[in-house]
């Protein structure tokens, strides 16, 4: 895993990877800007009869956008990168696993979109279900952090693994691959979850994760 992480970071300068990073960040932050604009419009209309309604709407928009960035950046960023993940996977395979390119299949935009929406949906649903436990475990000091890391390591391990395995395996074989590589994918997800918690590194985490997943997939089949 450490070697795969080093190789993934070393390929950040690849033009294809930089292109995906730029596009994914632009789309991700555009979505949050649209959210903020929507909240401002709604709050401004709702409070139209209030004094200083414009200032109140701006404050509501700012607060909601900051909270959304804090709580949902990982879900949105991974989902958006999933739309362009094929480019990163191809770049890594071309450099490190050229033989795999001959049998790979392109993932259609429609399938990428479905996988991206499923990824974001799982993240939100699982973390909402675990929210009561997060609150209860606050009393332990470390329980909330441990559960959050474990849950999101599992989620990310699945999502990132699917980005790569979808190019090489039919859906029924992907299920078998997930079962056979549960431990590796958990470590993959844990590494990327930790990156999401590090300031500035969290911006690079989705593309590093896609590259890292490519190495994990091919090394698991060697």
> Which string of DSSP letters, residue by residue, matches the chain?
-HHHHHHHHHGGGSHHHHHHHHHHHHHHHHHHHHHHHHHHHHHHHHTTTSTTHHHHHHHHHHHHHHHHHHHHHHHHHHHHHHHHHHHHHHHHHHHH-HHHHTT--PPPHHHHHHHHHHHHHHHHHHHHHHHHHHHHHGGGSSHHHHHHHHHHHHHHHHHHHHHHHTTTS-HHHHHHHHHHTHHHHHHHHHHHHHHHTSTTHHHHHHHHHHHHHHHHHHHHT-
Write out pLDDT tens, residues 91-120: 999 999 998 888 888 888 898 899 999 999
pLDDT at 222 over 70: no
Q: Are 184 and 220 in contact (CB under 8 A)?
A: yes
Stretch 52-74: mean pLDDT, rounded? 88
Write out pLDDT tens, residues 125-162: 999 999 999 999 988 888 999 999 999 999 999 999 99
pLDDT at 198 over 70: yes
pLDDT of residue 103: 83
Kindly state the percentage of the chain with pLDDT values over 70: 100
């Amino acid at each position: 895993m450490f070697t795969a992480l080093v190789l993934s970071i070393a390929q950040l300068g690849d033009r294809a990877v930089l292109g995906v990073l730029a596009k994914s960040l632009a789309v991700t932050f555009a979505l949050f800007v649209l959210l903020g604009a929507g909240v401002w419009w709604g709050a401004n209309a709702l409070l139209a009869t209030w004094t200083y309604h414009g200032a109140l709407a701006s404050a509501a928009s700012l607060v909601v956008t900051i909270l959304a960035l804090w709580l949902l950046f990982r879900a949105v960023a991974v989902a958006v990168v999933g739309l362009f993940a094929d480019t990163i996977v191809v770049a890594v395979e071309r450099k490190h696993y050229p033989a795999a390119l001959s049998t790979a299949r392109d993932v259609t935009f429609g399938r990428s979109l479905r996988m991206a929406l499923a990824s974001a949906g799982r993240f939100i649903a699982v973390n909402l279900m675990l929210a009561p436990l997060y609150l209860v475990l606050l009393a332990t000091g470390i329980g909330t952090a441990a559960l959050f890391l474990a849950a999101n390591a599992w989620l990310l391990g699945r999502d990132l693994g699917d980005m790569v395995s979808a190019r090489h395996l039919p859906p029924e074989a992907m299920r078998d691959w997930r079962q056979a590589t549960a431990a590796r994918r958990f470590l993959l997800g844990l590494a990327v979850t930790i990156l999401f918690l590090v300031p500035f590194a969290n911006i690079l985490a989705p593309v590093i994760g896609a590259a890292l997943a490519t190495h994990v997939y091919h090394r698991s089949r060697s």
